[in-house]
Amino acid sequence: MSRLVQNRIANTWLRLKPSIALSSVFIKNLTTVPEQLPETNDESSQSEKIWNVIVGKAGDRVSEDEVFHRLSNDELCNKVTLSDSLVHKLLHRFRDDWKSAIGVLKWAESCKGHKHSSECYDLAVDILGKAKKWDRMTEFVERMRGDKVVTLNTIAKIMRRFAGGGEWEEAVKVFDRLGEFGLVKDTESMNLLLDTLCKEKRVEQARAILLELKGHITPDVYTFNIFIHGWCKANRVEEALWTIQEMKGHGFRPCVISYTTIIRCYCQQSEFIKVYEMLSEMEANGSPPNSVTYTTIMSSLNAQKEFEESLRVAARMKRSGCVPDTLFNNCLIHTLARAGKLEEAERVFRVEMPELGVLVNTSTYNSMIAMYCHHDEEEKAVELLKEMESSKVCNPDVHTYHPLLRSCFKRGDVVEVGRLLKEMVTKHHLSLDESTYTFLIQRFCRANICEWAYCLFEEMISQDITPRHKTCLLLLEEVKKKNMHEATERIEHIMKTVKLTAPVK
DNA sequence: TTAGGGTTAG
């Protein structure tokens, strides 16, 4: 960022009583993500241009026919050589906007020589299912059936969307019709159906279906693990344990996944004695716990702020000779940080992980950055952010910035808040999510700059992100205090017309 | 095709 731009930001932010009009424009520029391709390469400027044209034409919530029409009549769009990856990225961009997605898909079909990949077909099915457009989804799948492009992957999307949308009977019907799609009812496809049902808390129905199919299709280890998970999800450990016995009866040995699933359930019930009993049982049975098992237990202990106990579990894992992975180390770093053992966390990050060849990811950096911020060592946090940016191993996400933003608010440095927000948006193309907006609005209100909070509120609405009821109330109170009549009316209007999100938990 | 989430708190 140039010095000039930096100064401009600083100056704008230093005016603590900005007019709404001025700040609105500024914040808009600040936090709205510029549309662009997720990945850039040498030809990025050209493809970015095309991307912007297509997204601009398709992205303002018009009908699918209108999208098709606009794209078909655009000069630049007509010249584009469509790649599979471009269509895929476009569909992904419109994953929450089925009309635009289907419009884009129709246009792509009409382009000379273009044929959809099966991934694009499946993504389209998934988008329609997510929007619960069952008729359109079914119609689309029928077309796919005609083209003989339905795979088990497609079926998985349909089933999971049906079941997730409360239509589990429809998911079962899809299984019954597998033959029509040129697919077979075998253990794999049966497991897919059972897993779908179990994940949607329909373990009883799944059980009934298994009994019905048992004569024709043989269950395998996966089948039983799916049920163990299903019973645990329904908080019915007794049945999960009984499934272990049933599994043995079929000649299958319960594996580390079977036990870990049950351990997770015990953790949720805070039955830690049973957790440790099961750990010993696993060791005795020749299915020793692995990195997933230990991470599960530690995460649960951490949630209860039992950091020392959590560290004892980590020590037990090391003694057992079990190989740690990234998620385990992330959890360990988090635990050490919360236990106030900064040097040890640093040692895991700087020495242990590289020595063992365990890759770091965004979460690893995030835990370290959060740790430094919590202990007022922001310089180190910022250093790490820079290291992350230059390492190219992983990129920052919104969680990377949360603790940094929090620190700025804590010391009243709103100029730095502005700089960080700008960096998030322009440098890393991150878009602010609901929780980030909520957090920022809250803190700006508390810092007595509700003008900024209100601008973020407006921006949130314009991006179709629904504010929480509590956020509206807080902001309303603040703008009233400052006699911001226009804003007061607007917030009251939104509170009446928009279905507000209830507080989490 | 089956198993592991972390946090911006007061």
Distance B1 C1' – A198 CA (angstroms): 13
Query: Which among A246, A306, A240 is positioned nearest to A270, based on CA atoms?
Result: A306
Q: Which nucleotide's C1' is closest to A225 (Cα)?
A: B2
pLDDT recorded at residue A12: 41
What mean pLDDT, rounded, does chain A reach?
Answer: 88
| Confidence bin at A115 (pLDDT 50/70/90) | confident
Q: Tell me how far the alpha carbon of residue A462 is from its chain's centroid.
A: 21
Specify which residue's alpha carbon is closest to the C1' of nucleotide B7: A399
What proportion of chain A, given as a percentage, has pLDDT over 90?
69
Q: How far is the CA of A341 from the C1' of B10 (A)?
A: 23
pLDDT at A31 over 60: no
Of A175 and A89, the one with more pLDDT:
A175
Residue A114 (CA) to nucleotide B6 (C1'), in angstroms, measures 43
Confidence of residue A30 (pLDDT cuts 50, 70, 90): low
Instruction: List bases in chain B with any atom under 7 Å of a protein Cβ.
Output: 1-9
Contact A387, A400 (CB under 8 A): no
Q: How far is the CA of A460 from the C1' of B6 (A)?
A: 24
Q: Span A408-423, mean pLDDT? A: 91
> Closest residue by Cα to the C1' atom of nucleotide B3?
A257
Nearest to A209 by CA among A160, A247, A171, A181: A171
Question: Residues in chain A, how many?
Answer: 505
The 3-state secondary structure of A274-334 reads HHHHHHHHHHHHCCCCCHHHHHHHHHHHHHCCCHHHHHHHHHHHHHHCCCCCHHHHHHHHH
Distance of CA A342 to the CA centre of its chain: 29
Residues A36-76 have pLDDT tens digits of 444 445 555 677 778 888 888 887 778 889 999 999 998 88
pLDDT at A503 over 60: no
Give the C-alpha separation, A298 to A280, whole Å: 16
At A339 the pLDDT is 95
Could you tell me which of A503, A505, A436, A422 has the C-alpha nearest to residue A465?
A436
- Nearest nucleotide from residue A440 CA, by C1' atom: B8
Question: Phi, psi at residue A225, to the nearest 5°?
Answer: -65, -35
Q: Is the pLDDT of residue A14 over 80?
A: no
Answer whether residue A28 shows pLDDT above 70. no
**What integer is the mean pLDDT of A201-213?**
96
* A387 CA to B1 C1' distance (Å): 39
Distance of C1' in B8 from CA in A372, Å: 15
Closest nucleotide to A199, Cα to C1': B2
Q: C1' nearest to CA of A333: which nucleotide?
A: B6
Contacts 24+ apart (CB under 8 A), A26-29: A26/A455, A27/A452, A27/A455, A27/A456, A27/A459, A28/A455, A28/A459
Is A321 a residue whose pLDDT tops 90? Answer: yes
